[in-house]
Structure 1
Amino acid sequence: MSIKIMDIVGRKSYHCDIVFRITDIKEENGQKLAVLYGEDFRLIADAPYEDLVSINKPMQRKISQEFEFLEEQSLELFRQDVNLLRQKQEYVATNAYSKQMNYFQLPGKVLHLDGDPTYLKKCLTLYEKIGIPVTGIHCDEKEMYKKIGKLIEYYRPDILVITGHDAYSKTLGEKQDINAYRHSKYFVQTVREARKKIPHLDQLVIFAGACQSHFESLIHAGANFASSPSRVNIHALDPVYIVAKISFTPFMERVNVWEVLRSTLTGEKGLGGIETKGVLRTGMPYNLNYTE
């Protein structure tokens, strides 16, 4: 049975450790190669066609269930954090519960650029579940830096996510060479363009990167959080967990980097960042009769 574009596959040489979907099949130097996008990880890879094996539905479902369990664990950790933050805000807003006050909260607005439409859809579903206002835009990684300026002007986000797929290739250079990465240099360019619009790190919080991305270059370009310090793969939903923590942290408080990373699926090997202010704002009174 032949393997074709959009089929779900694994790589025999890697013992099918990651599930991919085929996005293209090409020929290079007489060899048939497949372009692979990770189903659960933000990884892009090339693989010899003969190295691929189809992943059947039962196996795919088993792997998906394992990741769904991890996702639920991360979501539960995040919910615990948000509940603590809300209790603290309620205590402050009501003057240590001495007054009954109707107050409202405005979490940070997110602009999420994603190179993968499937991952973008997954992320938007999670944003909605958590309750974060978001605009999601599918954009090829190589085109992001050309469009980001006008998008920031139009949407005026508090938090910007720049992500998609990436990969390091040792055949292209050493790990410190940004040209050895599939899309890192485009993510860096996009961060720089965003910082031309809003230079201050606390006026626009930026997450940038994907699997194995050049972490140091992204941070130096102006990202608050980025991947991947140890050049490992990151989960498709990791950017959302980082953004959610920032979005629900009050703007007078600083986000503890470790507390952010503990809610992700990848942790400190795949994600890192710098001290950053939250963006949540609390107001009062809350008008129960108001409709937009």
Structure 2
Amino acid sequence: MKFKVGDFVLRKSYDYDILFRIYQIDNDKTVTIVGEEMRLIADAPINDLVLVNEQDRKLRNEEEKKKQESCYRLFRQDSRLLRQKSEYVMTGGYRSNSSYFELPGRILHIDGDPVYLNKCTDLYEKLGVPIYGVHMEEREIPLQITSLLEMVRPDILVVTGHDAYMRSKGDQNEMKAYRNTKYFAEAVREARKFEPHIDHLVIFAGACQSYFETLIRAGANFASSPDRINIHALDPVYIAAKVSLTSFMDSVSVWELLRNTLTGEKGLGGIETRGLLRRGMPTKSDEDINNDRKIGK
């Protein structure tokens, strides 16, 4: 069977577990594939692949949407509780009719996959979080990170894309066994040179099966993947958005944060971190506030 870039496929040897899309055709025997919902990249023999027809893909997409909707409802529930707490604090225990506005933490999301980036951007906007998204190949991120930070001046940095732990190249404690972790770690170190304080620039780094310990040691607040499992394409969004929408007066509970993700604590972890949302009064128009928060101001 003749495959082309962009085709959706399943792997026979892995019992058709994950939906992949063909990212690159390496030669007439192997292709590079990336997970459609999981941030996994792999080399695959062409004779191990099965083309997914449109009907089967729609069925898988429907199942995936149900999982995403469940996480979204949980996140919105948490957001409503945070807003109720804000109203109580800013009105002096509901004794005042004072109005107030909120400035969520701004996010710079750098993604190695343009399809993932579009999905993430759509969800950020749905959650009401200010986002500046950039697509860039993983190996390029450490080289461009400082100039992007200088331009965007974000409160939160997400560095993600594709990754994989390759058992044949070493054990879990060897960097050479990971496809892109070294680039994520280098990017985090460069970002920490720009802003060393872990609460002034909150960083998420990693993808499927990434070397979690190295990313945390490099300076990330949150990273993947403690158990070297696959993480969902949208997991970084839920983590970054939770920090963005939590008041800087409060710390973000790691356990509460992870329960909003699709992967959970086996795929994601991190350290205690302060929220980044700030409240103010009196109310200004959204347009005025947005003008005050333009990039570089």
Equivalent-residue separation in structure 1 for 2:47 and 2:287 (angstroms): 62
Per the alignment, do residues 271 and 99 of structure 1 end up closer, same or farther by CA in structure 2, a change over 3 Å counting? same
Equivalent position amino acid for 1:60 in 2: R
Q: Which amino acid aligns with 2:88?
A: Y
Matched, 1:180 2:177: yes
1:243–1:290: structure 2 CA closer, same or farther, 3 Å change rule?
A: closer
In structure 2, distance between residues paired with 1:137 and 1:287: 30
State the SS of the aligned residue for 1:282: strand
Structure 1 residue 85, shift from structure 2 partner: 0.5
1:273 lines up with 2:265 in the alignment: no
1:88 paired residue among 54, 60, 85: 85
Task: Give, in whole Å, the separation in 1 of the partners of 2:222 and 2:97.
Answer: 38
Extract unaligned runs of 5+ from structure 2.
Answer: 292-297
Is 1:22 the counterpart of 2:19? The answer is no
1:74 maps to which of 47, 71, 75: 71
Q: Structure 2 CA distance, aligned partners of 1:5 and 1:289?
A: 43
Shift of 1:287: 2.9
1:61 aligns with 2:61: no
TM-score (norm 2): 0.95
State the match for 1:117 in structure 2: 114
Name the SS for the 1:171 alignment partner. Answer: helix
Pairwise CA distance, 1:26? 1.9
Provide, for residues 198-241 of structure 1, a one-character-per-residue CA deviation record: whole Å limited to 9, x for no partner: 00000000000000000000000000000000000000000000
Alignment pair present for 1:143 and 2:140: yes
Give runs of aligned pairs for residues 95-110 of structure 1, distance below 5 A.
95-110=92-107
* 1:166 maps onto 2:166 in alignment: no
Q: CA deviation at 1:24?
A: 1.4
> Match of 2:18, as an amino acid?
I
Residue of 30, 35, 44 corresponding to 2:32:
35
Is 1:256 equivalent to 2:253 in the alignment? yes
Q: Which residue of 2 aligns with 1:4?
A: 4
Gaps of 5+ in 1: none
Q: State the match for 2:236 in structure 1.
A: 239
Alpha-carbon distance in 2 for matches of 1:261, 1:178: 25
Residue 14 of structure 1 aligns with an amino acid whose one-letter code is: Y
Q: Across the two proteins, how many residue pairs are aligned to each other? A: 289
Shift of 1:288: 4.6
Corresponding residue SS for 1:132: coil
- 2:13 is matched with 13
Equivalent-residue separation in structure 1 for 2:123 and 2:155 (angstroms): 18
Q: Alpha carbons of 1:230 and 1:83: their partners in 2 closer, same or farther (altered >3 Å)?
A: same
Q: Distance in 1 between matches of 2:285 and 2:204?
A: 35
The Cα shift of 1:4 comes to: 2.0
2:183 and 2:189 map into 1 onto residues whose CA distance is 10
What is the CA-CA distance between 1:289 and the residue it aligns to? 8.8
Question: Counterpart in 2 of 1:217?
Answer: 214
Measure the CA separation in 1 of the matches of 2:54 and 2:265. 32
Alignment partner of 2:190 out of 188, 193, 203: 193
User: What is the aligned-residue identity percentage?
Assistant: 57
TM-score (norm: length of structure 1):
0.97
AA aligned to 2:263 is: T
The 3-state SS of whatever aligns with 2:144 is: helix
